[in-house]
Structure 1
Amino acid sequence: MSSSLSTSFRQVAILLWALALGVTMTACSSGPLARKLHLEDTSPDAALAYSQGLSRLTPAELTRERTVLGALPQTPFNQVRIAMLLGHPRVQQDLARGHGILEGVLKSTEPAAQTFHPLARQLADNYGERIKLEIQLERQGQQLKESQRKSAELQDKLDSLANIEKSLIPRPRPGKPEGARR
């Protein structure tokens, strides 16, 4: 229990450090974010700081960043950063690809990848949930379209029945028979 507690405190400390680093990064000059960060720091802390920096980039800069990261060696650090970029809300998302990259990092037994396992697990879980939600949203959209189609068909049938009823020759109302008048 104490090891999981210390791991949680470590993760919170990493997050706080990343937030503090993210605030100081606003003073960085323009250009791809991969060049702004110290590339010699390839720790999970640096990856968290990178994630914070992504939110300050324009969509054009994010697209450029994707190109820059694609040209870098595929180390666990760069793979996590690519996955972060693939899941960023302001670019064309590819959560399935990002999830696959993160699963690759999680399956790796090399020491460099193992330092990223907690972060990669968190991101992979997040991406997995987002993928499930997208699938559920797509299903609901399909169900809504089907429901609207059926509703339109039923309305057409009701309209047809109403038109048939209007076109019927009106029959005289039966009056009371003569014998019933007493």
Structure 2
Amino acid sequence: MKNKILILVGSLVLAACVGPQPSAPTSTIQLVQSTSNIDELLAYNVQLRKMTPAELGRELQRINTYPAGPATNVRRAMALSLTRDAIDLAKAEAQLWNVMADRSVEAEKLKPLVQLLVGHYSDLRRVADSAEKSSVQLKEAQRKVDQLNDKLEALKNIERTLPAGGK
């Protein structure tokens, strides 16, 4: 019986020592749900593709009045890429690399789209360079053909002026 009383008293003493547990420190984590404007930018690209060159020029002027930011850089790059000018395509790539270097939350959300566009614009530049080389080679080949035709005509004229006495 003594043992039972000692156990009961010991349990009461231990229970008194424990007391109420302090609550674990909690911090409130608030998830900010900001929508990515990738869908908006893709829709914008579809609109750009439907524009005439004159409309595209006006749109570029309008974009240049927008406040600076990653989304604006992507818009500008999309518009520049459609002008069919190698210099503008290089500018478009530079705009996209600016977004890639940006560490803001907005830029981070746009990076998958930007990486896709960088690859696409890089391919476009390679194709344009290849087409230009082919065009230069074609012009050179046409020039040589024209020279050979001129020589052939000159030889035919010489042959016509020769006396026919050798027959």
Fold-level similarity (TM above 0.5): yes
User: TM-score, length-normalised on structure 2?
Assistant: 0.69
Three-state SS of the structure 2 residue aligned to 1:71 is: coil
The answer on 1:139 being equivalent to 2:133 is yes
Contact conserved, 1:87 with 1:127, CA < 8 A, in 2?
A: yes
Counterparts of 1:118 and 1:92, CA distance in 2? 24
**Larger Rg over CA atoms:** 2
Contact conserved, 2:63 with 2:76, CA < 8 A, in 1?
A: yes
Specify the alignment match of 1:45 in structure 2. Answer: 39
Aligned 1:1-182 pairs, distance under 5 A: 43-57=37-51, 59-88=53-82, 91=83, 93=85, 94-173=88-167
Structure 1 unaligned residues grouped into runs of 5+:
1-39, 174-182
User: TM-score, length-normalised on structure 1?
Assistant: 0.64
Higher relative contact order (CA 8 A, sep 6+): 2
Counterparts of 1:86 and 1:172, CA distance in 2? 70
Count of residue correspondences: 132
Counterparts of 2:127 and 2:102, CA distance in 1? 28
- CA-atom RMSD in angstroms: 2.3
Query: Deviations for 1:77-132, whole angstroms, at most 9, x for unmatched residues?
Result: 111011111123xx565211111111111122333211111101111111111111
Query: Deviations for 1:19-74, whole angstroms, at most 9, x for unmatched residues?
Result: xxxxxxxxxxxxxxxxxxxxx96622221222233345555543332222111121
Give me the identity figure in percent: 35
